[in-house]
Amino acid sequence: MTDRRKLMSQSELSELLTNRLRSFDDCADCSASVRYAYAEPDEQGCNWSPDVTIHLGANASKETVSGIVSKLVQELRTEVNIR
């Protein structure tokens, strides 16, 4: 089976994650960064960790932002690998 994930750098992936996060209400000042890549893809074929760093904006709730980031990470792990 061929993996159809888009390849991008770790910084590009973090930027994409942040841009998607900022599209949600009260998340305009938030950001998220991918912390590290795996040496080999995991059992789902993804080569980066779902453990990300979240920076909250002034009006952001930690609980709300964490939930949004979790869903975005799940989506992006099926779409993108780090090159």
Mean pLDDT for 7-11 is 97
Q: Which residues pair with 32 in a beta bridge?
A: 54
| pLDDT surpassing 80 at residue 66 | yes
Pure H helices in the chain: 10-21, 62-79
For the chain, domain boundaries: 18-82
CB 44 within 8 A of CB 11: no
pLDDT in tens, 15-61: 999 999 999 998 999 999 999 999 999 999 999 999 999 999 998 99
| pLDDT surpassing 70 at residue 1 | no
Q: What is the pLDDT of residue 59?
A: 86
